[in-house]
Amino acid sequence: MGINVALDGPSGAGKSTIAKKIAAKLGFVYVDTGALYRSIAYYVINNGGDVKNTEQVISMLPGVDVKLKYKRKAQCVILCGEDVSDKIRTPEISMGASAVSAVPEVREFLFDLQRSIAAENNIIMDGRDIGTVVLPNADVKIFLTASAEERANRRFKELQEKGDPSTYEEVLKDINQRDYNDTHREIAPLKKADDAIEVDSTSMTLDETVDAITAIIEEKTGARPPEKKERKPLLDFTDYPPVKRGKKLNPVKLFFYNLLRYIVIFLLKCWYDLKFEGVENVPKDGSNIFASNHRSMLDPVLVELQCRVPNSFMAKEELFEKGKFFVGLIKFWGAFPVARGKGDTDAIKLSVEKLESGRNLLIFPEGTRSHDGKVGRGKTGVALIAAVAQCPVIPVGINFEGKLKFRRKIVVRFGKPIRPEQLKVTTPGPKELKLLKSTIMDSIIELVH
């Protein structure tokens, strides 16, 4: 069992914000129990129910599927498959949460989820009755409070930033009403646990409150912030001079390549309703990078049909373990194996070699195919290769609906090249590479519609 910290207190005391910061500081998992009750209230209200009708709330519980997921160390609330993290933060839902949390069946419904998380992790859990009911044996219990006026002022500013039209008076009224509801309900009312340490943050800044509570946790449990590992550069650019462009491929091979290219164009246009747009943006020489969205196994061919110089493209190593015919086919179209999980350096070395040879390089930044046509999140590898090679990057958008079948309309769009001067990165830091990746991905997204 891990270290458990219970953080209780009234509405608007800043429990969630403070708990998140402490969790990040100590390397704990943050569990926002209030979000779970808000989710129940949101579900009831969103489905036409009345949060004050106990029987109706209980009858709707079987339809509730709520989970806490962590994306980039941030907690997200997933309700029936939908991320409702922002939608549950309104005054209406706050009042609804207060109402449903007084229903014993609702509390029982959520207890198992809360306790299973606490049993498996070092956690900090915030709510109204964590130290008294949910985790009565918590290693550390904190009761965080502040004056109603100060809590209302903080919540009002938070809502203003989100564009909520609520007035300060309305927020203060909600705070006072919720305080009354929480302290007077029959089931698990808000109260300070006998062994809890009270922290009044009325006159304290956010950072001062975080530091004060962190110090208490460290003193009682011996927990310490995890050591920060020194972040190594993603790549030492000095080892990879820009690609020298202009190398010519064998003219005989180029002749037969282009002859085959026109034959394949004819055949595919007979089978599909195939169109190309922006072909004037396709360079006539080699050593260019084509960055495309990924829809199907046919994508490398669709992009290459407008390239006068052959492309090479990365393919996962597992594909080269299939039948000889398939392996021979993808090799013919320029595929080379890349082992996943061995870092970007190997892939970049191979990519630079292909570009140095005078061939083009085709990259699918998403890494995997999209079955619904939406462009997914790109990976940093495309930015690394573009920054090292300093070759023009031509964005490509492959468009079709559903699955590929006879006479399916396919539109392949080529965007304007992103020039080497736009690709320069002075240091291989995450921020610069992320910005470069966004530039490339935004160009692809513009071509997919």
Confidence check: pLDDT of 315 > 70: yes
For residue 262, the model assigns a pLDDT of 95
| Residue-level pLDDT at 231 | 56
Instruction: Show the domains of the chain with their CATH numbers.
Output: 4-221 (3.40.50.300), 237-447 (3.40.1130.10)
pLDDT at residue 75 greater than cutoff 70: yes
Mean pLDDT of the chain: 87
Give the pLDDT band of residue 428 (cuts 50, 70, 90).
low
For the cut 60, the answer to whether the pLDDT of residue 60 exceeds it is yes
The number of beta carbons lying within 10 Å of the beta carbon of residue 167 is: 11
Stretch 393-415: mean pLDDT, rounded? Answer: 94
Q: How confident is the model at residue 367 (pLDDT cuts 50, 70, 90)?
A: confident
> pLDDT tens digits, residue range 372-390?
788 888 888 888 888 888 8
The reported pLDDT for the residue numbered 31 is 85
- Which whole number is the average pLDDT over 94-102? 89
pLDDT classification of 232: cutoffs 50, 70, 90: low
pLDDT at position 427:
63
pLDDT digits (tens, 9 = 90+) for 200-223: 999 999 999 999 999 999 999 998
pTM over 0.85: no
Q: What are the tens digits of pLDDT across the range 140-177?
A: 999 999 999 999 998 898 888 878 888 999 999 999 99
